[in-house]
Every structure is written in C-alpha cells, then in structure tokens.
Structure 1
Amino acid sequence: MNFKSNMSLHPNGLQRRHMMLGTAGILLVPGLMAQPLRQARLVVIGGAEDRIQDRLILRKFVDYCGGASSRIRLITAASGVPDVVWNSYRQVFHELGVGDFQQLALTDRDSAYVPELQQDILQADGIFMTGGDQSKLMQVLWETPAYTSLHQAFHLHGCCIGGTSAGAAVMSRHMITQGEAVLRPRKEATVTDIGLGLITQAVVDQHFSERRRLPRLMSTLALRPDLLGVGIDEDTALVIERNKAIEIIGRGAVTVVDPTRMRSNVDEVAAEEQMEMLGVELYVLPSGRRYSLEAKNLPSHWPINLTKVLKRLVAPGPIRS
C-alpha cells in the first residue's frame, strides 16, 4: 500500500508510519494508567464469524461489553461497502437484544478529528471493527484523536474492543497488509505496516487454517523474531483478558508461533528465496480452552515457555498519545 499519495491529508501523521516500525512509536501518558473499572478485553476474530445460527462469538462479545444494555459502536471504515456491512451487523446485534448499537461516523481522516466522534468512542462499552482492508482503516485512524480515543477507551475505561478479519489484523502494532499464501516461508513474502497497537508483542493473521497461512506468518516472523505470530481460524476468536488470561472461542483454533529461539539464514538469502528456520516453537490452542496466568497450579502438560508466551499476549501496551 502506497501511503505517499495520502500524505497531503495530514502530513504530520502518515509520513511517520514506516519510520516507526522499528521503534517504540507509542508513548506512555503520565497519570493515565489507572486500572479501569472493568476487565479490559480484546476479541480478535479470524473472520467469517457466525452471524446466523448460534452467533457464539458475537453473543460472547455482547456479554463482555456488559450485556444487552451496553453501548456498542461499529467501525466500518475498513469496508468497501460500509452501508451493507452496517445493515448486516445492525440486524445481528438487534436480534441479540442490544438496544444501543450505532455506527461510528468514521469515514475518512477528517471525520477522525471530530470531537463528537471522540466522545462517542470514549463513552462506548464495546467497539467492533468489521472486515475489509486493514490499510484503509489505518489510513483513516493513524495519529488522529480517534486513534488516541480508542486507546484511552481500552486502557482507561476497560472498553471491550473486537475485530474480525481486517479488524483483527489491525489489532497488532506490526500489521500484515499484503502477502500471498506461500507454500513455504520465503524472505519478504509479506508487506507490513503499523496497526492500532493494542497487541504490541505479536503480529496477527486471520483466515488462518482456511487459507493455509502458516508459511506466510512464518515469513513475517523471520524478519521480526522479536514478535509472536498469532494465526486465528475463521469463526474463531482469541479473547485476551489484559494481564490475566486468554480464551479460545468458536469452532476452530488459534496457532501461536514463537520464534524467540529461532536460528535462521534470513540474512543470507535474497528476496523471495526459501529460508531455513530452526528452533521455532508452535502452539495449537483449540476452541473451548482457557489459559490463565492466575491459576495456582499450572497444568502439568504445559511447557515452561507457554507461560512466557501468555505473558506476552496479555501484557498491556502503552497508551497512544
């Protein structure tokens, strides 16, 4: 995605994105890290969640937001057909009993600067981001007051933030924007950019098993072994409870790739060439499982490194300033 063509909109924002991929880029705000009144959760969905039958994931999302009386807002800025997507989710959440479900008026970068939009975000109990194009969503949000408000809503108010497909990919700070489902890991097989940064120590890929994306994810990690890789199947959600636990819901699984101890020849091969990747650890977490750091006695079958992985997934990132 070429962001240069859009720099004229707000040049102090977009032109800094690629420069920040290798730096901290997110600032702590003094005095703003008080614990929220409720458990902050991310509901990261691999796409194609059930909206017709049991609607388990969306039903759980409503519960996490506080139930039918909660204020839930929808972001459709990633979609090429936002009106169609809005009507679909409006029907689903209405049938789930949610009375205060509205679409956020977030359509372009100018709208992301409107004070009323910021207040709507800050007052929400839950925010749901639809599928589409994650780069398009970040073009709208990057370094805007709406972006800051999303961070404050999550970190300070405990707002539940969910996202499906593109809305899932954008959760991580290091975000995959392009890349075919290669058969084997290849150098520079993917293109990445900066996402929302609500998950700071992992990169998220969606439609994972259905589109055979393990080699694609590993290709990304070969260049960023400091990150975890999280692949989420369709109609499956990774629920992250900040500082506490993760849970897998839906009908598939979540695959976590840990390249921390990897040895690779990535620096020796040319672009698009196959790579050697040794010592990569892989965890397959099936639906219905919960992995908590608060358990007094960890299951005996847990490898010791799984606890380290969990700590990285649930660790709160800094608030965007």
Structure 2
Amino acid sequence: MKTVKLLLILLTLIGLSCKSAQKSYATQNNFKKEKNIRNTSKGKLFIIGGGKKSKLLLQELINVSGLKEDNFIAILPMASEQPDSAAYYAKKEFVAIGINPDKIKSFNFKKELQSKPQIDSLKKATLIYITGGDQNLFMDKVLYTSAYNAIHEAYKKGATIAGTSAGAAVMSHKMITGIEHKHPGYTGEFKTIEAENFEIKEGLGLLPSAIIDQHFIYRMRMNRLLAVTLENPDKKAIGIDESTAIIVQGDSAMVTGLSQVILLENLNKESIKTRNGFLGGKNINVNILLPGDKFKL
C-alpha cells in the first residue's frame, strides 16, 4: 500500500514539473495583462533607438507632430539620474533646429509630486518627448499616476509621444528593464538565450502589441530579443538601432533615420520549450527593415 501511495505521489510531482516547464515562458511576468486591441488613438509614436539624433531626424519628429506656433513641446527627463541636465540638452537639440525655446517646457515629475497645473499642461502638449537614461527610474515615478494618465489622454487626443533609448523602452506594455536574473553583473553582452533570464516589467502601454529594444544592432542585442520573443509569443519584438526610429500611427509603423530595425515574430507558439535552462523554438520570423520600410503591428 505504501509503495502504491509513493508511486502516485511521484507521478503527480513529475506531472506538475512537466506542466511548469511547458508554461514557464508565459508566466514569468506577474503584472496586469492586457489584450491586443486595435489602436484607435489619434496621436503618433516616434520611437528612437538611442544614440546620436541627426537634425534631419529631429526635424522629421517636429513635422510628424504637426507642431505649430501656438503649440509646445513637453520634455520628460525622469529616466535620467540627472533630469535637469537631460532636460537642458534635449531642449538644446530642439532649439538647434529652430524651435522657439519659449515653446519648450520640461516637467520633472516625482510619484508623489504632480501638481494639477503641470498635469493639465502636459495634457495639452502637442509633442511629449521622453529622454534617455534608465527606464526603471521613469516608470517608478510615472506608473499609474496622474502623469501616466495625462500621457495617455494626450496620445488619444492627437499628441505625438516620442522617446529615445530608455524613452523608447517605456513605450510598450511589456518593457525590457535591462536586468538579467541569471547574470546580474551587467556587461552589455548577451551571450545566451536562456529561459527566465531577462526581466520584464510594465511600461506605459502605448504600444501594447509589441516589445521594444533599443541601441539594437550597434550593441548586438539579438540574443536578448530572441529570448524575449520566445517567452512572449503574443508580441512582436522590435529592435531599433541607434540614430533610427519607427513612426507608429494606428496599427502601422514606418522606419526612418540612418540604420535598420529588426522585427521578430514567433510564428509557431506551440514549439517553445526549455531544456537545461536554455530556450528553444521553431519558425521565428526575422525581418530586417530599412528606412522607408513599413510594417503592421
């Protein structure tokens, strides 16, 4: 009798272990899940992969936003550890292409310090620009606050939301934080494609159907995005290179700038598996997109 009971317990444990292994890629992120619904916002996203931004790229951003004399730009520098400096240099770049400095405002929001006049002003901005730095810093100060709601409201009503580097990463709902669980000492090199390694947290959710990676080709981040693609099979994964951007309007996007965008998509979600901690999968679709190329989200 004891032998039968032990055998039943062993079989149950094996079954649970297999089930856990099959689902681990899909359950590592515990934040609120969202549905991929059609983008009905009237605004646009201008998502820059970081690095140097040419005057032509910034001028295209201004043109896309439809900025006029009676409009203004709102700079959000909260991703930076030195937000005042980040705001200063972002403003300097816009002034260099002819934008009146009086039409540029910056808001260094803190989670507990978001005044109503500032929030009302943010809602009225024609262009909201999120600087680089650390995407975790930005979301720690913004997630589910009045500023978060104001960004979404402005976007729905027609504002262009732009971001570079960390400001690009925050655009998606599932956000790559830059942290590796299994290799915590950051080196900038991603040498493996492992399960449950790359941390994903909640971003702004302006681009719910995709996950953004930045500095992509220049910093050789393909292994990271492949792992993210395998573990998040319901999302397109978009790697944007430096000095390059995607312009999102509705459910379509176009590449602009100097370099390329890599688009990854898992076409066989049932093939995802793990073995000894390493991820496997089949039929991962890879597209290398050049400036002017368009794609669906």
TM-score, reference length from structure 2: 0.80
What is the aligned partner in structure 2 of residue 123 from structure 1?
124
Question: Could you say which residue in structure 1 is the equivalent of 2:275?
Answer: 269
Assess if the C-alpha contact under 8 Å between 1:62 and 1:68 holds in 2. Answer: no
Identity of aligned residues (%): 27
Answer whether contact 2:74 2:127 (CA < 8 A) is retained: yes
136-145 vs 55-64, which moves further: 55-64
Q: State the one-letter code of the partner of 1:101.
A: I
Task: Provide the secondary structure at the position in 1 that maps to 2:61.
Answer: helix
Deviation, 1:265, is 4.7
In structure 2, the CA distance between the partners of 1:19 and 1:254, relative to structure 1 (3 Å rule), is: same
Q: CA deviation at 1:26?
A: 11
AA at the equivalent of 1:238: I
CA distance in structure 2 between the partners assigned to 1:183 and 1:126 by the alignment: 38
Q: Structure 2 matches for 1:288-299, cutoff 5 A?
A: 288-291=292-295
Q: 1:264 to 1:215 in 2, by over 3 A?
A: farther
Contact 2:49 2:244 in 1 (8 A): yes
Which residues of structure 1 form unaligned runs of 5+? Answer: 1-17, 292-309, 314-321
Structure 1 position 252 matched with structure 2 position 263: no
Matches within 5 A, 1:290-309: 290-291=294-295
Q: Is the 8 A contact 1:68 1:98 kept in 2?
A: no
2:264–2:287 CA contact under 8 A, matched in 1: yes
RMSD between aligned alpha carbons? 2.3
Partner of 2:286: 282
| C-alpha distance in structure 2 between counterparts of 1:97 and 1:239, whole Å | 22
Q: Give the aligned partner of residue 11 of structure 2.
A: none
Structure 1 Cα separation of the partners of residues 286 and 36 of structure 2: 29
Partner of 2:208: 200
Higher helix share: 2
Structure 2, gaps ≥5 residues long: 1-28, 181-187
Q: Is the 8 A contact 2:78 2:108 kept in 1?
A: no
d(CA) in 2 for partners of 1:73, 1:79: 16
Cα distance 1:211–1:269, how it changes in 2: closer, same or farther (>3 A)?
Answer: same
- Give the whole-Å Cα distance in 2 for the aligned partners of 1:80 and 1:43: 23
TM-score of the pair, normalised by structure 1? 0.75
User: What is the aligned counterpart of 2:242 among 234, 241, 244?
Assistant: 234
Residue 55 of structure 2 is aligned to residue 55 of structure 1: yes
Task: Determine helix, strand or coil for the equivalent of 2:254.
Answer: strand
For the 8 Å contact 1:65–1:72, the answer to whether it is kept is no
Q: Aligned runs of 1:158-177 on 2, under 5 Å?
A: 158-177=158-177
Aligned to 1:98: 99
Tell me how far 1:95 sits from its aligned partner: 2.0
Shift in Å at residue 68 of structure 1? 5.3
1:278 match: secondary structure: coil
Residue of 98, 110, 113 corresponding to 1:111: 113
TM-aligned CA deviation for residue 263 of structure 1: 4.7
**What is the match of residue 225 of structure 1?**
233
**Number of corresponding residues:** 258
The answer to whether structure 1 residue 44 and structure 2 residue 52 are counterparts is no
CA distance in 2, matches of 1:68, 1:254: 30
Deviation at 1:71, TM superposition (A): 0.8
